[in-house]
Each structure stands twice: as structure tokens, then as C-alpha cells.
Amino acid sequence: MKVLFLATAVIGTGLVAFAARNLFRQVGDGEVMGEPIHEKVEKKTLAEVSRTWNKTLSGNIVEFREIAKLWRESEQEQVAAPLPRPTFKYMEIERFFSEMIEKRRAIKGSRRTVIVKLLKLLDDEGDCPSVVKKNPKEAEAKYSEDTFSMLATIPLYLHTLQVARKFAAKVNQDVMLPDIFIVSLGHDIGKIPSYHDKMYSTVDHPLISAIVLNGITEYASLSNRDELDKIIREHHLRKADYPLTKMLKQCDQAVRKEELAVLLGEAVEREKTSAKTQDTPPRKPEHQAVIEKPVPKNSTPPEDEQDHPLGELETQELPDLEALELPSWFDADAILSAVNKRINQLEATSKGLRWSAVSTTSGLVFANPEGLWAAVKEVSGKDPDMLAADADEATKRNLLYTFVRELSRVKDAIATEYVSEKHYTTKVTIVTGAGKGINSLLVPFRTRAFGISSATLEMQKSPLLKKMVKDIKPKQEEVETCVF
């Protein structure tokens, strides 16, 4: 018996040693570890653990190894005292917070604090025009005077809330909503007048917005602050590589189109009633507060200095062109007629006399893309999409590409032999009366599309225009970058 007992003890000791050895060598699903892992010991009763995971998981089943992590996170959140509910003076901001922020569990911690501070900033100083153009770098400086004046009646806080709602609906993923709300609520903060005096003379509003956000302590401490900065800084660039930047641009433009549609509709109604009630003040959109602050007289920047229509865009990298759906108002004959009345005509601008389209003796009429754009806008009848595209270069280029393609298809109006595929302009040399050559990108129309001979058009040229443009010679080569 003693021998049997001794043998059993030896075997038992060996089994325990073997089990202990494997315990320190393996973890999880068999991963081999060289040394045992020492972790901080936490003591909790099963009752405490059950309350934690039941509350956290709402009855869902998870693996036991996840429980520790869940109760640690839950307990840490419980330690932080709840923030007092903010209040806002504008009903729209109060409603936005209640519907979009207050009850979302994913919006917490520093990100929630940043969102609340942005809403408070809009509540305190967002009752200002939602468009700015004092700095010539501003994309909104390209709006026409009428369009800019209309959009200036939309307060910044209302425009910003609409962009945030649209962006949130587009993403529709709770885990992304905190960052979505930060960039959408903060993307135009730089338009608030109190930030203009020190910064606006040198940079545009996206850069100012990023600077203002980085002045918020909780924002500056975010681990992905650089990524959020990039989205805000680049939301008006012609080419946006980051997906969230593209989505912010799309939402911003969509809201602008909706605003213009409402404002244009109100203008039509005013015109209808003006003959009956001369003293009736203009109606205002019921869902939008209107700012009565006048636009400063000196807010219009001078046009960009340039020898030809390309300006700085000639050397910039731009996104590929994309054919869009034709608008219902598109009329090829009306557009050709609008271009025709601009051929060989000089127009007075703040920079002096400029031309939109010039004929040549070779059977071609070359149109400046900006001149073609003006002709199409004339036909569009103040379409909100066209008005909004003035401040969105990528959409503007896609629309021109679409129109040129259709003019070629239905009227054979474009000399496509000079235009590369996926472009709407051709590279040319403009020869002045003094013999100077200027490289440019112009739209080549066939003269016959206008129902008039080249000789007749040449007779319409003034002596001054002949000095400005003696001839236009297309270059027989593929164009790598076609812009205007």
C-alpha cells in the first residue's frame, strides 16, 4: 500500500507540474508565450459582474473573455460625472441638440464637449451671413452679386445645422457620428466676423475654421485631430482625395441648392404680388431666419490678374471630368444663340475689356469657357444647381463637359477633332496683333453651327479686338489637363 500511495503521489505531482508549465506557455486559442503575463488583479463579485454585463449587453450573449473589458469600460464611464444639459437661445439649435446629439450614446467624452462648444459658438455668434468673400481666395467670391446677396440672407447657424443633418443622414453609422458632427458643425466657423480682423486678410474661412477648432482644448487633444483638420481645410478644394471631405462638399453644395431654390421661389412670389401690393415688404422663408445686415460695399474682390481665361487653374491638379444628367431646361439651339451674340464682342469688366468668343478664318469659333458658362446660365433661367456651381469648380467643370458633349452630339457644334476624349477644351495659341503668343484652353465650335459664314463674322470684329486677337491656332496634340 505504501508503494502504491508513493507512486500515486509522484504521478500527481508530475501532472500538476505539466499543467502549470502549459499554463504559462499557452494563452487564448493556443498562442505560445515565452513568459507568464502579470496583470493587475481586479476583485469583483459575480453579482457585480452580472449587473455590469447585463446592463451593458442588454441580454446579448458574448464570450466570457470579453466580459472583463466590458465591465472596465462601463465602470470607467460611470466614474465621470454627467455634464449639465446646455441650453440655446435659437430654437433650431435647441431642436438639433435634442434630436441629433442628446440621446446618442456614441457621442460622449471629449467629442461631445467639442460638439456642445461648437453649438454654443453658433448660438452666440452664428447670426451672421453664411457666405463670405472679403478674401479673394474664397470659393464663394465667384458667386454672382445676385446669388451672393440672396445667400447672405441665410444665417450661418441655419446653414451649418442643415449641412450637419444631411451629413449625418448620409453616413448613418453611430460610431462615425461624433466626428461627422465635429467637422460639419465646425467647417464654416471661420466665417464668424469676430475672427476676421486678425486672420481673414491672409487666409480663407476653411483655414480659419481649423485654427478656431484647434483653440478648443478638447479638440486639440483628439487622437485624430490631424484627420479632422484635413477634412475642414480642404472642403472647398477642387479635388478632394479623402472620402469624408468629398461627402462634406456634397452635403454643403446640396444645402446651397436647396437654399437657392427656396429663395428663388420667394423672389418669384414677390414679383407676382408686387403689382398688387406695392408697399408689401418682401416675404421671408418661413423656416429660415433672415439677416438684415448689409453686405459691405468694399467686399467685392478684384478679378484675378490673368492674361487669358485660365489664370491659376492652368497648373492645378483637378479631378477627372464626369458627365452629369442633363437638366430639363437644356436647349441646344438656345445655348448656341446665346454664344452667337457674344462672338467678336467686347465686354466691359472691372479689369477692362474682355471677350467671350472669337471667330477665325479657318471655320472655327473659339469660346472662353467662362463665356460659354455665362451663355448657359442665361439659358438656365437661374437654375439653383447652376448658381451653386459658381462656387464649386469641380461641378462647374463637369457641367460644362456635359453641355459640350451634348452640343456635339445633337448639333455637331464642336470641332471634336481638336478635343481629347474626356475633355471639353483644346490647347491653343492666341496670337495678338503685336505678334505675342498666349497659351490658352478654349472650346472649339464649328462656325456653321451658328448659321453664319466666317466672312460675315470677320466683318464684325472691331479694330481693338483685332489688336487683342489676330489669330487663334490650335495645337495638334493630346491635352493632359483641360481646365479653365
C-alpha cell at position 440: 490658352
In 3D space, the residue among 167, 179, 347, 363 whose CA is nearest the CA of residue 249 turns out to be 167
What letter does residue 346 receive in the DSSP assignment?
E
Give the Cα separation of 343 and 170 in Å (integer).
44
Give the Cα separation of 79 and 384 in Å (integer).
51
Same domain, 127 and 244: yes
Same domain, 221 and 315: no
pTM: 0.60
Give per-residue pLDDT as tens, 176-190: 999 999 999 988 888
- Helix axis angle for 243-274 and 177-186, nearest 10°, is 50
Split into its structural domains, the chain has a count of 3
Same domain, 147 and 61: no
Distance separating the N- and C-terminal Cα atoms of the chain: 103
Same domain, 174 and 219: yes
Give per-residue pLDDT as tens, 53-69: 444 444 444 444 443 43
Q: Phi/psi class of residue 311: alpha, beta or left (left: φ > 0; alpha: ψ in -120 to 50)?
A: left
Same domain, 158 and 231: yes
User: Given a cut of 50, is residue 43 above it in pLDDT?
Assistant: yes
Kindly report the backbone phi and psi dihedral angles of residue 107, in degrees, each rounded to the nearest multiple of 5, phi listed first.
-95, 100
Same domain, 371 and 330: yes
Residue range of the domain that includes 6: 2-25+45-79
User: Given a cut of 90, is residue 273 above it in pLDDT?
Assistant: no
Give per-residue pLDDT as tens, 188-229: 888 888 887 666 556 778 888 888 888 999 989 998 888 998
User: Given a cut of 70, is residue 286 above it in pLDDT?
Assistant: no
Same domain, 119 and 18: no
pLDDT given for residue 402 in this prediction: 93
Torsion of CA 152, 154, 155, 156, to 10 degrees: -80
User: For all residues of the chain together, what is the average pLDDT?
Assistant: 76
Same domain, 58 and 148: no
Same domain, 152 and 248: yes
- Assess if residue 293 is contained within a domain: no
What letter does residue 65 receive in the DSSP assignment?
G
Same domain, 116 and 253: yes
- Assess if residue 130 is contained within a domain: yes
In 3D space, the residue among 144, 379, 153, 130 whose CA is nearest the CA of residue 266 turns out to be 153
- Assess if residue 394 is contained within a domain: yes
Torsion of CA 230, 236, 240, 242, to 10 degrees: 40
Of 130-134, 145-149, 291-295, 432-436, the range with the lowest mean pLDDT is 291-295
pLDDT given for residue 197 in this prediction: 63
Same domain, 327 and 410: yes
Average pLDDT rounded to a whole number, residues 8-33 = 50
